[in-house]
Homo-oligomer: A and B are copies of this chain.
Amino acid sequence: MSETATGGESLLFLTDEQLRKGIEAMFFAYRGFTADPDRILSELDYGRAHHRAMHFINRRPGLTVNALLSLLGVTKQSLNRVLRTLIADGLVESRVGSHDRRERHLRLTQQGAELEQRLSLAQRARMRAAYRAAGPEAVAGFRQVLEAMMDEEIKDQYLMLRDGQP
């Protein structure tokens, strides 16, 4: 099989060498991705898990515990521990569902929204700098590759979140 061209299109970007660079880029970039919020969180005695929970609660106010569980991909026991501290600290509010009273609907309190904003601002600042440095075409490619890398079920959730009422 020719290595330089197949069907008229170069496949050099699929070499193990290229893949390896992508893998290492993902690894190192993810460190940067979480670094800024992590710094803020550690001052407040919270962790990444708290940030993630608050992010999605902010994105979908009133979502149920089950829905959050499925977005985060962790067990309810693990989430519950985080959620309990957030509720105890007055950052998250848990309301019994009106339609189905077994469900708990979660939303950020004023105070929770403020912290979420602070974390989100820091994370967006880095992302914005990266986007600006790379340019719009690169950003489109960035998102395409990431989306293609997701597990199917997770991608469905991502798309729903991405395209639901923004």
Contacts and interface: CB of A to CB of B under 8 A. Distances in A.
A96 interface: no
Nearest to A52: B27
A127 B27 contact: no
Q: How many copies of the chain does the oligomer comprise? A: 2
User: Which label, helix, strand, loop or mixed, suits the secondary structure of the A interface?
Assistant: helix
Interface in A21-45: 21-33, 35
Interface in A113-166: 123-124, 126-151, 154-155, 157-158, 161-162, 166
A137 B146 contact: no
B124 A145 contact: no
A4 interface: no
Contact of A148 (B16, B130, B143): B130
A137 to B, nearest CB: 6
Give me the 10 closest cross-chain CB pairs, A-B, nearest first. A141-B141, A138-B141, A130-B148, A29-B146, A142-B145, A25-B146, A133-B148, A134-B144, A130-B149, A138-B144
